[in-house]
Amino acid sequence: MTALRQVKLGTYYVVHLPEADDFDFWRERARALVQCDVPPDRIAWVEPGGSGDLFADGERRMPVPPESAPIVRANRRFVQLARNAILHSDTERFAVLYRLLWRLQANPGIMEDKADSDVRRIEELDKNVRRDSHKMHAFVRFRLVESEKEEAGEHYVAWFQPEHHILRANAGFFMRRFANMRWSILTPRGSLHWDGETMSEGPPAQRSDAPGGDPMEDLWRTYYASIFNPARLKIGAMLKEMPKKYWKNMPEAALIPELVAGAQKREAAMVEKGTLEFEERPETLGEIDKAIHACRKCPIGSLDNQPVMGEGPQNAALMIVGEQPGDQEDRSGRPFVGPAGQLLDVHLDKVGIDRRASYVTNAVKHFKYVQRGKRRLHQNPGAKEIDTCRWWIESERAIVQPKIVLAMGASAARGMLGKTVSISKVRGAPIALEDGSELWVTAHPSYLLRLDGAARDEQARLFDADLAAVKERLEELT
C-alpha cells in the first residue's frame, strides 16, 4: 500500500457531512480515503452543526484515489452495523467506523472477534440505535387534529424526542403501518409528513407545534390503569423497558405514581376483603365445632344465631348432608331435629338406614333467615356462602372419611361439588369424589314438606328409591 501513498505525510483531512445520518456520503468518502491510504488519525469528520476546530487548518479537498488503487473490502456484517451505527448521536461514530474499516482491510475476519474493542464499540452503537428505533415504534403517540377543511380529513400528529438520528430511517415503518392515514411525526431534529401517498420532510419542530391532547386519551388511560394488576408490583421491570425519559410524551405515564402508591394499599384491601384466612385445617371434630363458633367469613355468621355442628360417629360409613340449620336446629344446636329432620327419620326407618350409625351434618353451618315480625323465615344460602362454608364440610369429611356421602338438595350438592347441579339429572347414580368415596345426590326432605297430593307421593317415592340405592351400595362397601 505504501507505494500508492500519494497523500502528503502530515496532511489532515476534514470531511463535512451534509446530514447527520447520511451513510451513503460517509461510505463514498471513507472508500476514497482508504484507497488513498489516509490513516484514521488524519481525518476529522464533521456533522452539520458540529465543529471542526481541532483541524482548523485541515485540508478540505478530498484526495483522488489512483486508478490502480485496490478495491476497498467491507463484509456484509460491517455494512449492516455501520448503516445503523451512523445514526447514533455519538460524535465519534464516523471516526470509529473509519478506523474499523481501515483495520478490516488487513484483517477481514475482525468482525467476528467480539472481544475487539472497536468491534464492541460499533456493536454497542448499533444496539443503542436499534433500541431507540424500537422505542420510537412503541412510544410515538399520535393525536387527532380535526382539520378546518373538511376534504383534508383526519390528521394525526405526534411529538417525539428520539435520542439518535433515527427519524428518516424509520419513516418506512410508519408508512407501512399507517399507509392510509394522514400523519406527521414532529421531532427536535426534523419532521416527517405522510399524506397517504407521499412522504415529505420538514424542519425541526417544537412541542408546541403538536396538539396538546386527544379525547381518546381518557379511554387509553382507563385501559392502562385497569389492565395493571396491583397485586404484582414490579417497578424495576417497568423502568428497564420504559425509562422515565420517555414518560413526558406518553399520556398514560402521568398515572404511574398514583398507581404505584395505591397498589400496596389496594392489594391489602383485596386480600382482606377477598381471601379468607383459614389457617390450618382442623384435625378433630372438636376443633371444627370450636372454630365455627367464631366463623364470620360470610354474613350469615353475623346474624343472631348459633352454629350447628354435625353429629354422629366419627368413623361413620355414611355422611348425610343437608342444606343449613333451620329455626329449631338453631335453637337446639343439633342438626335435623325440626320438621324436615323428623320426615327424614321416617324415610330412613322405612328403608332401614340407621341414623345413629350415620354422620349427619349441613353444607352451611349457620341459619340464614329474614325476620318477619316474631318469625324467622328461612332463606336459601347464596352460592358464595356455600362455597365459603365448604372449608368446614370438607374438613369434616376429611376426618370422618365416609365411604358414601348423601347430599340432600342443591345446596348440599354444591357444598360437595363446588358447582350447582340439577338434582333430577344427577340423582340415582354415584358421583366419584377425589378421595375415592361416592357422592349420591337426592332431594331435601323439606322439599317433600312443601308438596302435597300426587306430587308429594311421587317425590316421596323417588326419595325412598334414592335412600334404598344408598343402603344397598352401603352394604356392598362395608
Nearest distance from C-beta of residue 235 to another protein, angstroms: 4
Quick one: 177 or 375, whose CB is closer to another protein?
177
In the region spanning residues 367 to 396, those forming contacts with another protein, defined by CB under 8 A, are 370, 379, 382-384, 387-391, 394
Distance CA 79, CA 362 (A): 78
Quick one: 64 or 239, whose CB is closer to another protein?
239
Task: Provide Rg for the chain, Cα atoms.
Answer: 41
- Helix 76-85 crosses helix 93-106 at what angle (to 10 degrees)? 170
Facing residues of 383 across strands?
none
Quick one: 167 or 467, whose CB is closer to another protein?
167
Cell of 255: 398515572
The arrangement of strands across the sheet holding 318-322 comes to 359-362, 318-322, 404-408, 438-442, 431-432
Q: Which of 420, 422, 424, 478 binds another protein (CB under 8 A)?
A: 420
215 and 146 in contact (C-beta within 8 Å)?
no
Q: Which of 297, 334, 378, 456 binds another protein (CB under 8 A)?
A: 297
Quick one: 68 or 226, whose CB is closer to another protein?
226
Quick one: 147 or 222, whose CB is closer to another protein?
222
323 and 380 in contact (C-beta within 8 Å)?
yes
CA-CA-CA-CA torsion sign (373, 374, 380, 383) = positive
Q: Which of 95, 144, 337, 465 binds another protein (CB under 8 A)?
A: 144
Q: Which of 195, 214, 311, 345 binds another protein (CB under 8 A)?
A: 214
CA-CA-CA-CA torsion sign (45, 49, 54, 57) = positive
CA-CA-CA-CA torsion sign (56, 57, 61, 66) = negative
Residue 156: φ, ψ to 5°:
-105, 130
Quick one: 276 or 429, whose CB is closer to another protein?
276
- Among the listed ranges 9-17, 26-34, 171-179, 346-354, the one in contact with another protein (CB under 8 A) is 171-179
3-class secondary-structure state, position 369:
strand
In the region spanning residues 37 to 66, those forming contacts with another protein, defined by CB under 8 A, are none
Nearest distance from C-beta of residue 180 to another protein, angstroms: 6
In the region spanning residues 422 to 461, those forming contacts with another protein, defined by CB under 8 A, are 434
Quick one: 137 or 290, whose CB is closer to another protein?
137
3-class secondary-structure state, position 228:
coil
Examine residue 259 and tell whether it contacts another protein (CB under 8 A).
yes
- Among the listed ranges 272-280, 358-366, 436-444, 460-468, the one in contact with another protein (CB under 8 A) is 272-280
Nearest distance from C-beta of residue 425 to another protein, angstroms: 14
Query: What x-and-dash track marks residues 89-128 binding another protein by CB under 8 A?
Result: --------------------xx-xxxx----x--------
Nearest distance from C-beta of residue 424 to another protein, angstroms: 19
44 and 121 in contact (C-beta within 8 Å)?
no
Quick one: 311 or 394, whose CB is closer to another protein?
394
Nearest distance from C-beta of residue 349 to another protein, angstroms: 34
Q: Which amino acid is at 402?
A: P
443 and 343 in contact (C-beta within 8 Å)?
no
Three-state SS for 188-217 is CCEEEEECCCCEEEECCCCHHHCCCCCCHH
The 10 Å CB-count burial string (b at 16+, else e) for 274-302 is: eeeeeeeebeebeebbebbeebebbebbe
Q: Which of 23, 94, 102, 142 binds another protein (CB under 8 A)?
A: 142
Query: What x-and-dash track marks residues 225-254 binding another protein by CB under 8 A?
Result: xxxxxxxxxxxxxxx-xx-------x-x--
Nearest distance from C-beta of residue 110 to another protein, angstroms: 8
Cell of 207: 412541542
Q: Which amino acid is at 95?
A: A
3-class secondary-structure state, position 431:
strand
